[in-house]
Amino acid sequence: MTKAFIFLGPPGCGKGTQTDILSKELNLPHVDTGSLLRKNISEKTEIGKIAQGYIDKGQLVPLEVVSTVIKNRLMEDDCKNGYILDGFPRSLEQAGALDKIIEELNQKIEMTAVYFDIPTEVLVERLVNRRSCPKCGKIYNIKTSAPKVENKCDDCKVDLIQRKDDTKETALLRFETYEKETHPLLDFYTKRGVLKTINANQPVKDVWAELAKIAGI
């Protein structure tokens, strides 16, 4: 039986941090849509060239392209025992596409959808204070989880960066988009009986304790 985890939650809810921990604990690959698209683009694969074409025009990468990228990744050997999906599905349409992929791959899935629940005002504060390492990708918060040396990555010793969209205005717009497109997935997976909710407004170790219980660790 293949274990599939779907992480749901608005930007800045902390699911990326928890994905890394769970991935190591269960030895399951982290399947991140954004990273997969960037990898295909940088390697100039056929699907990457198609995706780049849409991005160059300022358009969203269409579902059929994203689905192909996801399907190709789930076909790899390290996904046979399970995987953690982050960033897909983000809508009911994408959830339907995921069902189709699983059916086409003939996978017997034990699926768990995990929702990281957190108030919007807390998320805005998190995003505005979020910094990341351009080299290793490690995430910091200048108020709650600051690096040992100001604005320097603890591991790589390079200057941290702030994403251009980590502003209050952009954050609120992203949450509005999330509520409209992604929030309906909670009802979708609740009806299937696979949704678990975590209180993400607490320290990382406490969020992990809840997730570990859900994952049976």
Residues with a catalytic annotation lie at 15, 90, 130, 163, 174
Give the H or E element holding residue 83.
strand 82-86
Does residue 11 have a cis bond before it (omega within 30 degrees)?
no
Of all residues in the chain, what percent are helix, strand and coil, respectively (each to 5)?
A: 50, 20, 35
DSSP H helices in the chain: 15-26, 33-42, 46-56, 63-74, 92-104, 120-128, 168-181, 184-191, 204-215
Tokens of 30: 């982290």
Give the dihedral of Cα atoms 96, 185, 176, 202; nearest 10 deg. Answer: -140
For residues 100 and 116, give the distance between their C-alpha atoms in angstroms, rounded to a whole number.
Answer: 25
Counting every residue written for the chain, the total comes to 217
Q: Cα angle vertex 147, ends 162, 125, to 5°?
A: 50
